[in-house]
């Protein structure tokens, strides 16, 4: 389900006007920076995710865009207009909350119509828009039910319809699927993608769920302690993290700390403190200074296992199998190398017999399948 952005799509997207801009934005709580000098551009029609751990400042960023918080410094612009003195109800955005925030005393129809009635739309226009919104989220048959009579997924659909009925330029999604169980969350991810594609609106979503961000987004901003660590497409963020934080936070990875001991035109060689030597293919942003401290990232699915020593000159290590975790479609192996380092290896379940713990084993990966990052 992961979205892939081709070079042509990326070029078209780059020509789109900006719907949301943050310019050197700061927000302090008790003199501590929750948002620390953020610069951010979200283009028209983009599905943009703000991803990070709890307490990193991502929800505060969303609240600054919505107008529920005011920046202590910097500017928030929507469609090129400064929002400095614009209250939330006058901004061309609508927010979908994790808690849904539905009115329990109103049925589905009246929940969706509530905002339009506040704005004093004509009854005929309200009826038309509510019916249109109900159709979008496939809730026409449940229009007379109250929130307590709906499942979590149905309540989330109503919350989306209530946001969309106002026809905002930007839809803000605050952990929109966080309260749903896994199966329902997967179903709603597909619904969100379909809505985004059909409506061609700008979606800005806050989430701590890496898989959700990777599968839904055109681009992702990874936030750590109020700062942006990296912005990029899902494949850029996953395959080419620019910091050890991003490598560790996005998916699973094995990290090896060491220093550069050898450099040539094609590769660099790193030696860890435990004596492990790793050869990494040079890329444009690969650190190359001798004795420089670096971290090597190797994704578990890039590592191969063999019961016999492969005839490989580099990145091949002897160890023993210490744990086997059956995950259904995949199997996770924990291998302790002879130098004492433990690594995680993820391989597809091919329905073969699983080796026993303590089995001697060899782990190896290609020079192109690891990444060196400045420490």
> What's the confidence (pLDDT) of residue 160?
86
Domain boundary among 245, 270, 294: 245
Please give the structure tokens belonging to residue 10. Answer: 């990326």
> What's the confidence (pLDDT) of residue 293?
95
Q: 304 and 209, same structural domain?
A: no
Q: 256 and 234, same structural domain?
A: no
> What's the confidence (pLDDT) of residue 233?
96
> What's the confidence (pLDDT) of residue 118?
86
Q: 178 and 88, same structural domain?
A: yes
Range of the domain at 294: 252-374
Residue 2 in any domain: the answer is no
Cα–Cα distance, 175 to 150 (Å, whole number): 19
Q: 286 and 328, same structural domain?
A: yes
CA-closest candidate to residue 42, choices 70, 16, 6, 10 = 16
- State the total domains in the chain: 2
Domain boundary among 245, 274, 296: 245
Residue 331 in any domain: the answer is yes
Overall residue count recorded for the chain in this entry:
375
CATH code where residue 336 lies:
2.40.50.100
> What's the confidence (pLDDT) of residue 1?
46
Residue 48 in any domain: the answer is yes
Residue 1 in any domain: the answer is no
Cα–Cα distance, 300 to 334 (Å, whole number): 10
Q: How would you class 1 by CB atoms within 10 Å of its CB: exposed for 0-12, middle for 13-18, buried for 19 or more? A: exposed
> What's the confidence (pLDDT) of residue 351?
64
Any idea what DSSP says for residue 368? G
Cα–Cα distance, 154 to 345 (Å, whole number): 39
Q: 269 and 145, same structural domain?
A: no
Q: Where are the beta strands (DSSP E) in 124-195?
A: 170-174
Q: 222 and 192, same structural domain?
A: yes
Any idea what DSSP says for residue 255? E
Q: 275 and 218, same structural domain?
A: no
Q: 306 and 179, same structural domain?
A: no
Residues of the chain with pLDDT below 50 are: 1-2
Q: 343 and 205, same structural domain?
A: no
Q: 289 and 195, same structural domain?
A: no
pTM to 2 decimals? Answer: 0.86
CATH code where residue 90 lies:
3.40.50.300
Q: 259 and 238, same structural domain?
A: no
Residue 202 in any domain: the answer is yes
Q: 237 and 212, same structural domain?
A: yes
Main-chain phi, psi angles of 204, to 5 degrees: -120, 115
> DSSP characters for 37-72?
EEEEEEETT-EEEEE--TTSSHHHHHHHHHTSS--S
Cα–Cα distance, 355 to 324 (Å, whole number): 8
Q: Which SS3 state, helix, strand or coil, does residue 127 take? A: helix
Domain boundary among 202, 219, 245: 245
């Amino acid at each position: 389900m992961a979205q892939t952005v081709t070079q042509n799509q990326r070029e078209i997207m780059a020509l789109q006007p900006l719907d949301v801009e943050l310019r050197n934005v700061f927000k302090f709580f008790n003199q501590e920076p929750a948002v620390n000098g953020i610069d951010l551009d979200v283009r028209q029609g983009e599905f943009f995710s703000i991803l990070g751990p709890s307490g990193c400042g991502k929800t505060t960023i969303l609240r600054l865009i919505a107008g529920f918080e005011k920046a202590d410094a910097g500017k928030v612009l929507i469609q090129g207009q400064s929002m400095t003195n614009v209250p939330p109800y006058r901004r061309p955005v609508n927010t979908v909350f994790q808690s849904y925030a539905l009115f329990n005393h109103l049925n589905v129809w009246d929940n969706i119509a509530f905002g339009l009635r506040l704005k004093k739309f004509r009854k005929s226009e309200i009826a038309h828009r509510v019916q249109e919104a109900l159709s979008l989220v496939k809730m026409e048959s449940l229009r007379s039910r109250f929130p307590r009579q709906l499942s979590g997924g149905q309540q989330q659909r109503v919350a989306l319809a209530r946001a969309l009925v106002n026809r905002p330029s930007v839809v803000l999604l605050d952990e929109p699927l966080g309260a749903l169980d896994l199966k329902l969350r997967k179903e709603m991810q597909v619904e969100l993608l379909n809505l985004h594609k059909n409506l061609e609106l700008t979606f800005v979503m806050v989430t701590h769920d890496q898989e959700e961000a990777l599968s839904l987004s055109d681009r992702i901003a990874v936030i750590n302690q109020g700062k942006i660590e990296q912005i990029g497409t899902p494949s850029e963020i996953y395959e080419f993290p620019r910091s050890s934080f991003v490598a560790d936070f996005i998916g699973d990875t094995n990290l090896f700390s060491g220093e550069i001991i050898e450099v040539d035109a094609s590769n660099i060689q790193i030696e860890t403190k435990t004596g492990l030597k790793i050869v990494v293919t040079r890329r444009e942003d690969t650190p190359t200074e001798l004795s420089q401290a670096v971290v090597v990232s190797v994704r578990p699915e890039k590592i191969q296992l063999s019961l016999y020593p492969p005839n490989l000159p580099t990145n091949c290590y002897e160890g023993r199998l210490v744990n086997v975790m059956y995950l259904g479609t995949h199997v996770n192996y924990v291998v302790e190398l002879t130098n004492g380092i433990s690594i995680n290896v993820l391989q597809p379940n091919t329905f073969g017999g699983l080796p026993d713990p303590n089995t001697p084993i060899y782990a190896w990966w290609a020079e192109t399948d690891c990444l060196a990052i400045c420490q």
